[in-house]
Amino acid sequence: MSTKVWLIGDSWGDAWGTLAMQGVKPSQGLEYTIAQRLGIHGQDVVNLCRGGIGNDYALTIVKGAIRKGERPPTHIIQFWTEPLRDWSNYYSDASPNWRVKDAVDYITKQQQNNLCEFRKDTGNPEYAVIGGQAPLDDYHKVSTGASLCIQDWRASLLERELDYYASHLVGSYGSLDTYPNNMDKYKTKRQLLDKVNEIHELMRSSSAFPDDAHPGWNSYGWIIENLVAWIRRTS
């Protein structure tokens, strides 16, 4: 079977929707470069990333493409994002009170299970995942069957160890006021948000993040080399 690669996730993989990859034309971005390095047709590497979406909706896009008749991919590359973006899929205004760290852990586990089930239902395509807008937990590889995991790309670019839970609140969905019935005490929220602000400041002062939020194109070279080697190894 010929190699067919789908990229899924949020703005960290979406050069079109958010100009995330400053320094490269969208027509010559991630999917184009991967296809070129592999020596395969450009149509065999498809970018389904969309700015601002959650992990659940990323999977919904893939399922929708298959339902419309697309042949399932042989390889999936996911840019993992904040599980709390999909908060309303797991909680509601009437939900029992909850805490941020518990919700991150719970939704993460459910989304890992969803990804694992999807792979089983579609012929077990090879799966690589990049912790971008949100880092991966220590169980992601085992839980999903991923054959390539980049745990925390943001921390690598900043050359700093970052707080795991604060890293899940960095994006536009990070305001704790968005979610009702939160039981965390003010002190806990303040400590988390102080760490979020620290991450924001590190990104603003780093040349790796030209818009203060997304890696610039120059930062993708290492990612692309790893992904191309992985696809060759698993094809």
pLDDT tens, 120-171?
Answer: 999 999 999 999 999 999 999 999 999 999 999 999 999 999 999 999 999 8
Residue type present at position 224: I
What pLDDT score was predicted for residue 171? 83
* Rama region for 140: left / alpha / beta (φ>0; ψ in -120 to 50; rest): alpha
Contact 170, 199 (CB under 8 A): yes
pLDDT in tens, 11-33: 999 865 555 566 777 778 899 99
Contact 34, 45 (CB under 8 A): yes
Burial of 97 (0-12, 13-18, 19+ CB in 10 A): exposed
Please enumerate in sequence order all residues whose Cβ is within 8 A of that of 85, keeping only pairs 6 or more positions apart, or say none.
52, 53, 54, 55, 171, 173
pLDDT band for position 97 (cuts 50, 70, 90):
confident
Question: End-to-end distance of the chain based on CA atoms, in angstroms?
Answer: 9
Q: Could you give the CA distance from residue 197 to residue 183 in angstroms, rounded to a whole number? A: 21
pTM over 0.75: yes
Please enumerate in sequence order all residues whose Cβ is within 8 A of that of 69, keeping only pairs 6 or more positions apart, or say none.
none
What pLDDT score was predicted for residue 25? 76
Region of poorest pLDDT, from 90-94, 142-146, 205-209, 226-230 = 90-94
pLDDT band for position 108 (cuts 50, 70, 90):
very high
pLDDT band for position 10 (cuts 50, 70, 90):
very high
How are strands ordered across the β-sheet holding 75-80? 45-47, 5-9, 75-80, 126-131, 148-150
